[in-house]
Amino acid sequence: MTHVVTEACINCKYTDCVDVCPVDCFLEGPNFLTIDPDECIDCAVCIPECPVNAIFAEEDLPKDQLHMTEINAQLARSPNYKTLTKRKDPLPDHEAWANKTGKLSELKR
């Protein structure tokens, strides 16, 4: 079992979740955070920290976000995604993207 970052994170990239992660399982890409499924210990402390509710336990993923499990795993192996261990500012236009849905086409791999 793991936790999964959903499309809600795309173009926002809040990193409040990173500060509470005890195992540094978050990786950062250009406009998205992902969780490394091999590193996640399923502690769930990251879930309430996300201001856009982008993190779910795998078994609790909304049906329209099930595809994000595989995307998180793929991006965790990508050389373009690097481990992030400390909170950073969100993307400059995060407020404009925070409540938008259907952002998968915006994902930068």
Gyration radius of the chain's alpha carbons: 12
Tokens of 54: 């982008």
pLDDT in tens, 3-56: 999 999 999 999 999 999 999 999 999 999 999 999 999 999 999 999 999 999
Q: How far apart are CA 53 and CA 40, in angstroms?
A: 18
Q: What is the pTM of this model?
A: 0.96
Tokens of 23: 């195992």
Give the domains, in start order, of the chain with CATH numbers. Answer: 3-85 (3.30.70.20)
